[in-house]
Structure 1
Amino acid sequence: MKMLAPPRPAASPVHPARRMRIAATGMLIAMAALFLAARATVHLHPAVGFVQAFAEAAMVGGLADWFAVTALFRHPLGLPIPHTAIIPRNKDRIGDTLALFLRDNFLTPAVVARRMQRLDMAAAAGRFLASPSGGDGRLREGASRLAADILEALDQERLGGMVKGAIAQRLRAMNLAPLIGQALEAAMRDGRHAPVMDGIILWADRTLEANDHLIRQMVHDRSGKILRWTGLDENLSNAIIDGLRKLLADMAQDPGHSLRLKAEEGLAKLAADLQFDLEMQARVARIRDEIVDNPAMQRWIDGLWEQARSGLLRAVRDPGKAMAGRLGEALHQLGATLQRDARLRFLINRFARRAAVGATAAYGDSIVKLVSETVRGWDAGTVTSRLEHAVGRDLQYIRVNGTLVGGLVGLAIHAVDTLL
């Protein structure tokens, strides 16, 4: 049975700069071959002299431009000729110059403010939010994939730790006592505490009814022999239980009952202490910290972060679904408002402009320093390779043009010499 040969690996594509360098070198070699052929046959006809002159001058022009182009990136033929390998020798100065160029032309507050002045970011955002299905859907899908990749690529333990730490820190930073005191005071002022007190009284009545045997047992144990022998302990227990039930019934029926008013006074004092008593606030803060440090609370925060992360991933992976719910409806309304309200657009654009200018003023020098230090950190071979790949194709065109122009100049000089 004939065995199939394994497929050959696909050849890697040739970089355009390298392909152009091969073409320029091939043209130089062709001019050299043409010169040798013309020189060997120049005696056959006078016109061959023109071909020889063209080829000879083309070789000179091509070699001169080859030397100039090569001297930018390396030593020609490996010879340490002065003023060659210009880019590797001056990479640090190139990095500093590039950084200064960025700073002077892009990263100054005045330049950023001037460019941001021409941008209407609010209107663009409004058009996108009002009609997200329009336009280029690839942009939205690409942005969604990028956001999902960023979320998945981040270190989840570190990011989750940062988020959970921020939540716990925010909880610890909250001064809960004044908030609770204000809420209690407002509830009492509007009478919203009355149902709560009624519920407490009802709970106390039911608890008393369910546990009256405990009171009877306590009275029986503490009574003397005479009371137990005469059965008066049972009468005393009944009197105590009936008195407590009547007290609770009176408190439930009479909002102005003295004990109920005392309880309300206690609540009012508690509300004032929560707002103004530093000792009470410190006590509430200790309770708050104990709750935050409780393992159950930590598990709740962990679950909160996981739910938030999962929700974000679902939203960015399926932006169309996310835009179809209530959030999408709210975003559509926001987009329509941005398109209608010129003042809101002005405020948003001004905020974006000020934010960009502030970021430039605060971090522009850091970005410039980063560019300079990054280029300084590259080795000479990396700088040479990247620049040669970026502009090498155009430089090889210089070699081709130099070969052709040199040949034409040589042809013109030979023609003048022949005619004279």
Structure 2
Amino acid sequence: MRTRYIAGLSLVTMGVGFVTTLFLPEHPLVDLLKGGFEAGLVGGFADWFAVTALFRHPMGIPIPHTSLLLKNRDKLANSLISALENELLNKESISQKLKKLQLLKVAGSALVRLVGKRRNRVAALDFLQTLLAKLPLESLVPHLQSGIVSIIRKSEAQPLAEKAVAVAVQEQWDEKALDYALNQGRAWVSKPETGYMLGSIAQQKISEAKVGGIMGFAVQAFAGFMNEEKLGTMIQQLLLSGIQDLAQPGNANRGRLLAEIRHQMESVANDEDLLNRGKEWLADKAGNPQSGQFFLERMEHVRSSLVAALEKDKQGGGRKVASAVSYVIRKLQAEKEMTESAERKVLSFIVDFVEANHYRLGALLKDNLDQMNDKELVRMLEEKVGGDLQWIRVNGALCGFLIGLALTCIQWL
């Protein structure tokens, strides 16, 4: 290391200077330099001894209280681990540092900067396309079916049915369903072929009616005046008139019909046995191989649509991705309470995770130190802090030289 050479040079300079002054003639200036070099030599050598004693035995001599780092490597390792666990990675210090960072704000800003570059957006879209293309949908379908079946079988059918009935009544779905049925019935009854069919059925049933006496005569006379077309038209008019009445709000028959519909819905919602059978039927259908094929086809369709949408956006430089990210971040920043709550949760998770696992860092540090032999440990420490320690030797030589000059002056006085 360069500093080691400088430190060695300072010691050699003091030694050469001291020896040189021994051979110079007597003179006050020579005496002054001699005192300075002598003190500098002593100071430099003493500091060399102190610095060397940290790493090894000076000159290889096993002098007591030298090679301190090697003798105390276990204490050193334990001290480092203790400082790591109790001071550097304790809960309070981590919390304070993370709070100053404002993680979510920093992450949001970094994300906006990333998506601001076209190449990053395109790379993200490429990654998403690759991820979607490699999704094993065939292996996911059984898990999806299993999850659906589990949800169906674990769910309580009766509360769901009661809630569905309440929502249906509140949203007037029963009236909408009745109106839909009446409109469909009106359209069907109004067809000419329907009138002919109704007339044909009516004429056939009249002819089959076995009524005697005056009533039979009257029925036969009526049948003689009516043909299929006339009977069909008459029945159509009766049915259309009845449908029109049922379609009018406030109609008594409509009210009774709606009451009956609601009564039947409530009866179904309270029929536990029927609901359980329906639940089992749904579970069986969801777990059926044909349902699995249906799910697979739907998932394949969704995947194709997503890949196509991503490809289209990629051709445009991923602008939709940037817009979506910016929109989400703006919304999150606007919701200060939600953002602060999320920040607290993230900080709590990080702090708890580090606190629960920082012993692993200590164990890793201990393992790495144990794997290093004495030479490697000394070399590593000298590389990290040896340069600063060598300046102690330089300072010792210079300070000793100056002190020597001062002491010589004091002696003269």
Alignment-mate amino acid for residue 276 of structure 2: L
Letter in 2 for 1:63: W
Does structure 2 retain, via aligned residues, the 8 Å contact 1:57–1:407? no
Aligned: 1:194 with 2:178: yes
Aligned: 1:85 with 2:43: no
State which of 277, 280, 295 in structure 1 corresponds to 2:278. 280
- How many Å separate the matches in 2 of 1:293 and 1:78? 83
Cα contact 1:35–1:52 (8 A) shared by 2: yes
- Alignment partner of 1:295 out of 290, 293, 296: 293
CA shift digits 1:281-340 (9 cap, x unpaired): 3333333444896134145457767949x97xx89xx89754535x745654554564xx
Residue among 363, 384, 393 paired with 1:402: 393
Query: What is the letter of the counterpart of residue 372 of structure 1?
Result: G
Conserved? CA contact 1:98–1:372, under 8 Å: no
Residue 101 of structure 1, CA deviation = 1.6
Between structures 1 and 2, the one with greater helix share: 2
The alignment status of 1:97 with 2:76, answered yes or no, reads no
Q: Counterpart of 1:107? A: 91
* Range 296-305 or range 404-413, more displaced: 296-305
The answer for the alignment partner of 1:5 in structure 2 is none
Structure 1: 5+ residue runs without aligned partners?
1-20, 213-237, 339-343
For structure 2, list consecutive stretches of 5 or more residues without a partner in the other structure.
Answer: 197-227, 247-252
Call closer, same or farther: CA 1:182–1:292 in 2, change over 3 Å. farther
Structure-to-structure mapping, 1:151-162, within 5 angstroms: none
TM-score (norm 1): 0.53
1:67 shift after superposition: 0.9
- Which of 35, 44, 47 aligns to 2:15? It is 35
Q: Could you tell me which residue of structure 2 aligns to residue 141 of structure 1?
A: 113
Q: After the TM superposition, which residues 19-418 of structure 1 pair with which residues of structure 2 at under 5 Å, given as runs? A: 21-32=1-12, 35-36=15-16, 39-40=19-20, 42-45=22-25, 47=30, 49-50=34-35, 52-53=37-38, 56-57=41-42, 59-70=44-55, 83-85=68-70, 88-90=73-75, 92-102=77-87, 106-107=90-91, 115=96, 125=105, 140-141=112-113, 171=148, 172-173=150-151, 175=155, 179=160, 182-183=163-164, 186-187=167-168, 190=172, 191-198=175-182, 255=246, 269-273=267-271, 277-290=275-288, 294-298=292-296, 300-301=298-299, 307=306, 321-322=320-321, 324=323, 328-329=326-327, 331-332=329-330, 335-336=333-334, 338=336, 344=337, 349=340, 352-353=343-344, 356-357=347-348, 360=351, 362-363=352-353, 365-380=355-370, 395-410=386-401, 412-413=403-404, 416=407
Q: Percent identity?
A: 9
Distance 1:300 1:87 in 2: 68
Does the residue aligned with 1:277 lie in a helix, a strand or coil?
Answer: helix
In structure 2, what residue type is equivalent to 1:371?
L
Give the TM-score taking structure 2 as reference length: 0.54
How big is the shift at 1:396?
Answer: 1.9
Q: Deviations over 1:258-301 (max 9, x none)?
A: 99998886656445558983343333333344489613414545
Cα RMSD (Å): 6.1
Which structure has the bigger radius of gyration?
2
Moved more, 177-186 or 52-61: 177-186
1:44 aligns to what SS in structure 2?
coil
Is the Cα–Cα contact under 8 Å of residues 88 and 383 in structure 1 kept in the other structure?
no
Q: Partners in 2 of 1:141 and 1:33 — Cα distance?
A: 58
CA distance in 1, matches of 2:292, 2:69: 70
Distance change in 2, residues 1:120/1:292 (3 Å): farther
Q: Give me the whole-angstrom Cα distance separating, in 1, the residues matched to 2:300 and 2:80.
A: 46
Displacement, 1:409? 1.9
1:17-49, Cα deviation, whole Å (9 max, x unpaired): xxxx32233331453256246525641356353
Verify the 8 A CA contact 1:120 1:349 in the aligned structure 2: no
Q: Secondary structure at the match of 2:181?
A: helix
| Cα distance between partner residues in 1 of 2:242 and 2:382 | 93
Q: 1:59 to 1:249 in 2, by over 3 A?
A: same
